[in-house]
Amino acid sequence: LKKKGFFVEVDTRLAIVKVKVWGFWALEDGVAYLEEFKRAAQKVVGRPWYVLADISEFKAQKPEVSALVEQTMAFATSNGLAKAANLVSSSLGKVQIQRLSQAMGLPEFSFFQSEKQAIEWLLATAA
């Protein structure tokens, strides 16, 4: 694994966009991520869909990079995102993403340390 980067993959059957982000990004990493996220999400936009984000190795980013991460959230929110689950290892990343998620008005989000639990939560219908 490189010191920084991301990958985005889509489970079209479950309508889950899975992302993993790590390291400390330069501005162009944030731009590339935003473009990749939008491209991937197009495959599930039009029905309720979900994000599963592994942010366990994502460092606190500089403001211009955080702004691009916010844009992915804004894009998701305005294109039918139903729920977002974040995989975290530390409380630091959690606090940053929680603040962003609340600021961006994400519909429903939560934090997990197990991908299995996160997916179960995403796919559980509201009681």
pTM: 0.81
**pLDDT above 50 (res 127):** no
Average pLDDT, rounded, for the chain? 88
Taking 60 as the threshold, does the pLDDT of residue 102 lie above it?
Answer: yes
Give residue-wise pLDDT tens across range 74-97.
999 999 999 999 888 755 566 676
Q: Is the model's pLDDT at 1 over the cut of 70?
A: no
CA distances from 102 to 47, 105, 109 (A): 23, 5, 9
In this prediction, residue 34 carries a pLDDT of: 97
- Which element (helix H / strand E) includes 31? helix 27-41
